[in-house]
Amino acid sequence: MERQASYWLTGGLAAVHTEGRSRSEIWDAMKRRETYATSGPRILLWFDKTDGGVSVPMGAKTHASSEPSFTARAVGAFKQLPGCPDFTANGLPADRVQDLCAGECYNPSNERHLITRMEVVRIQPQSYEGEPVGELIEDPWRVIECPPSQEGCSVTFTDPDYVSGARDTTYYVRAIQEETEAINADPLECERDETGTCIRVNLCRADWRTDREDDCLDPVEERAWSSPIYLTWAGE
């Protein structure tokens, strides 16, 4: 049951930007912090500082004394087809596939889920001991809507406050994928009163305490989030 569950609901994924798939190239990318994570789907994500004619990728630490510009691009994960691809039978008999994963494999179609928006988070470190951090963590600082496209979403933005603020600043982006259903996406299944307060939970326990007809599916917006880009203020 535990093995099958990993096919019904994947855990989070980590991704790296590399020139190849060798162990050394993957480790080098991790050392450069050219990495990002997803909530499970294989979403593609790029985030770069792009002003001054030089592209600086996610994970980088760099200096800036002028208004920075950034580009973020994301492509949604492939939609899943039911069952397993034909080549699965080349390695395992059908009864073994059924036993391992209930007959469900990674089986991508040619159609991708849509990216609906990009969320930008801006964080500024304390400039003095005891400075309140509430206003220094802006999550999200900016939300950019994406038009529907199988090609994904590409956005550019600047920070017009960077120069006037004259302080170190960190940025990262989240790419939000269109809503899909996932097992236990809303694990509490709250019953709410007229004020929206949760007054009772209905846990999906996957045993005799849960109705056999309850598939425990709830809507969720899967996402990918980048490593940050760290800017050190270099002005006077």
pLDDT digits (tens, 9 = 90+) for 206-216: 677 777 777 77
pLDDT band at residue 5, thresholds of 50, 70 and 90? low
Q: Write down the pLDDT at residue 26.
A: 95
Q: Is it the case that residue 1 has pLDDT exceeding 70?
A: no
pLDDT band at residue 55, thresholds of 50, 70 and 90? very high
108 within a domain of the structure (yes/no) = no
207 within a domain of the structure (yes/no) = no
pLDDT band at residue 175, thresholds of 50, 70 and 90? very high
18 within a domain of the structure (yes/no) = yes
Q: Is it the case that residue 44 has pLDDT exceeding 60?
A: yes
Tell which residue, 122, 194, 111, 119, has the closest CA to residue 160: 122
36 within a domain of the structure (yes/no) = yes
> Rounded CA gap, 97 and 91, in Å?
9
Q: Is it the case that residue 2 has pLDDT exceeding 60?
A: no
**Tokens coding 145:** 């809507």
Alpha helices by DSSP H, listed for 102-173, are: 162-165
38 within a domain of the structure (yes/no) = yes
Mean pLDDT over 187-205 rounds to: 86
Mean pLDDT over 20-30 rounds to: 94
Residue 73's contacts (CB-CB under 8 Å, 6 or more residues apart) are 45, 46, 47, 152, 153, 154, 155
**Tokens coding 118:** 């990009």
98 within a domain of the structure (yes/no) = no
93 within a domain of the structure (yes/no) = no
| pLDDT tens track for 80-113 | 999 999 888 888 888 888 888 888 888 999 999 9
Q: Is it the case that residue 189 has pLDDT exceeding 70?
A: yes
203 within a domain of the structure (yes/no) = no
Mean pLDDT over 107-136 rounds to: 94
Neighbouring CB atoms inside 10 A of 62's CB total: 14
Among 21-35, 82-96, 147-161, whose mean pLDDT is lowest? 82-96
Mean pLDDT over 68-91 rounds to: 93
What CATH number should be reported for the domain holding residue 141? 2.60.40
Q: Write down the pLDDT at residue 8.
A: 61
Mean pLDDT over 124-128 rounds to: 91
Which residues constitute the domain of residue 129?
2-77+113-184+219-233
> At residue 155, what are phi and psi to the nearest 5 degrees?
-135, 155
Q: Is it the case that residue 235 has pLDDT exceeding 80?
A: no
If one counts the domains in the chain, the total is: 1
